[in-house]
Structure 1
Amino acid sequence: MGSTIPRTYQDNLTEAKTLLAVFGGMRPCDVRPMHVAQYLDVRGKKAPVRANREKSLLSHIFSMAMRWGVVDSNPCRGVARNTEKGRDRYLIDAEFMAVKHIAGDFIATVMDFAYLTALRKGDIFALRLEQITAEGIYIKQGKTGMKQIFEWIPTLREVIARPRALPRPIRGLYLFCTRRGQPYTDAGFKAMWNRVQVKWAESGGERFTFHDIRAKALTDAKRHGLDAQALAGHTSSATTDHYIKMKKFRKVTPLL
């Protein structure tokens, strides 16, 4: 599967190509806020969320250009982003268990680990065996840099034991590694996950993303009175609340 390239970097490369196709022929000093707004409007008709991400990258580029003295201002500032609709998919326990049943041992183990830790996919596949200690599992989140230690509980020990018991190359330094001892790439795991979701859909289930497992974990943590913010590794409670607010269910007693 090859070595892992951070997901954000991969996304930035794709975004940069799209931006170059539109702004590549312009001098930086000629780009005005109206051009950025027009880009968001046109691009937003098909991909409003992706347009927002591309605008963020463009803004960062202009911030650096200001620092280098190439331009005097950032034309992205003050330009409103496209409205984004929060994803409200909540994965119920029965769905989670059903997908694990058809997914096979490896995917089921990754799902369990993702649920227990609420870690992002990139952090899961970057986890090295040396990070698993007697104290717990040490993590430095790739996206935020947040440092965490997941303390041992029986269910976490059981899940960790599964991949460690599998035959692995002598040089396999990662908890979840390929036959060559390398971490799974985003594209490689995505292909495996997609096959599972196709089978799930064919059986009558509603497809969901791997990231929806993180949303389920944070939502369930908050509902059970646990510290969802600490579990998520977010620097502010507002980020956590925004992340899970669309995924909470209120229990209602029907009429007798």
Structure 2
Amino acid sequence: MIARRRTNLHLPPRMYMYKGKRKITYYTITASNEYITLGHDLAESKRKLIELEEGRPVAGSIGELIDRYMKEISPKKAPRTHKDEIPSAERLRNVFGKMKPGDLRPVHVAKYLDLRGQTAPVRANREKSLLSHMFSIAMRWGIVDTNPCKGVARNTEKPRDRFVTDEELINFCRFAEQTNETGRMLSCVARLAYLTGQRRGDLLRLRLDLLTEEGIMITQSKNRAKVLIEWTPALKDCVSSLKDLDRPVSGLFLICNRLGQPYTDSGFKAMWGRVMAAWIKSGNAGFTFHDLRAKAITRMVEDGRKAADLSGHASDDMIRKVYDRRTFKRSKAVE
């Protein structure tokens, strides 16, 4: 229960004032005993207090910056990226939302990485990267002059090194084919993922009209890179197998459900997860769908081909850090 105010009766409940030497500062204290400065102008301070109590981001706060970024910038990214950024933005808002952008310091970002990194170090790095891009955009918008995330060391990450062997992939495809019709479809898609080296989302949205005489034309959703994957006998056979699957309704997509519609990312993940769980239960080592992309890129590197032409990466840095799963490097003698 809030005690009856005896002084400053012109102030609304939960607003207090401090008279400094030159100006008055208005502030509030939350139920968790958190001190929040509202400003020096009474009308503006009242408005900020109402926004706080209603759960809305305070004008000029990092919370407002996050909301603007998620409305204007994030939706322009790949659908999967935007979807992943929504919970990350919410977490950042809960931690930094009430601060002013100019008050955020590198030490605050580092502290967030340390605390969040105790349970989710990789996720903390992704959230820090998102916050950094938000502040880079804020610099373009004229909100801040510097990015407090720059120069803050990330948490150490151990690159994934799971490499799916040829024998494993062959055996998994045979296993999946023996389960049911869904398993037969997943077997074909697994082969397609390896042969093309493309991301799951791009394969699920692959339209039949993109199967040209030269090969498969893909515009990658993540970076908009255009990749033409030329036909090989194995790739032609894989695509033919997908076309031959039972589909009562003729659709526009190579990989589709019985109604001719493309699978959603979550729906496909669920189907893949069920077959992979059965594969593991039968005594085999599991692997992710993304491991097949790494397998394809690793094979390109082993063969001395330019893997970026297949993966769509602008440089080889990401290939070396994430996708090159070779257990050892091979080289001929100098002479």
Q: TM-score, normalised by structure 2?
A: 0.69
CA distance in 2, matches of 1:199, 1:180: 26
Structure 1 position 41 matched with structure 2 position 114: yes
Comparing 172-181 with 105-114, greater Cα deviation is found at 172-181
Deviation at 1:16, TM superposition (A): 0.9
Structure 1 position 123 matched with structure 2 position 202: yes
1:72-87 equivalent positions in 2, closer than 5 A? 72-87=145-160
The one-letter code sitting in structure 1 at the alignment partner of 2:198 is L
Q: TM-score, normalised by structure 1?
A: 0.90
Aligned CA distance change for structure 1 residues 248 and 226 (closer, same or farther; 3 Å): farther
Find the counterpart in structure 1 of residue 99 from structure 2: 26
Find the counterpart in structure 2 of residue 254 from structure 1: none
Deviation at 1:226, TM superposition (A): 3.1
Structure 1 position 113 matched with structure 2 position 192: yes
Q: CA contact under 8 A between 2:214 and 2:230: conserved in structure 1?
A: yes
Which of 125, 129, 135 aligns to 2:214? It is 135
User: How many residue pairs end up in the alignment?
Assistant: 247
Comparing 161-170 with 98-107, greater Cα deviation is found at 161-170
Q: Describe the superposition over 1:141-190 as per-residue Cα deviations: whole angstroms up to 9, x where unpaired.
A: 11222111111111111111122223446562111112333221221111
Which is richer in helix?
1
Comparing 21-30 with 78-87, greater Cα deviation is found at 21-30
Q: Larger relative contact order (C-alpha < 8 A, sep ≥ 6)?
A: 1
Which of 212, 221, 224 aligns to 2:303? It is 224
1:1-256 equivalent positions in 2, closer than 5 A? 6-103=79-176, 104-168=183-247, 170=249, 172-249=251-328
What secondary structure sits across from 2:190 in the alignment? helix
Q: CA contact under 8 A between 2:249 and 2:258: conserved in structure 1?
A: no
Q: Describe the superposition over 1:35-71 as per-residue Cα deviations: whole angstroms up to 9, x where unpaired.
A: 1111101111111111111111111111112222222
Q: CA contact under 8 A between 2:243 and 2:254: conserved in structure 1?
A: yes
Unaligned runs of 5+ residues in structure 1 are: 252-256
What secondary structure sits across from 1:113 in the alignment? helix
Aligned CA distance change for structure 1 residues 170 and 179 (closer, same or farther; 3 Å): closer
CA distance in 2, matches of 1:159, 1:171: 19
Q: CA contact under 8 A between 2:215 and 2:228: conserved in structure 1?
A: yes
Dislocated runs of 4+, deviation >6 Å:
none
Deviation at 1:237, TM superposition (A): 2.5
Aligned CA distance change for structure 1 residues 229 and 64 (closer, same or farther; 3 Å): closer
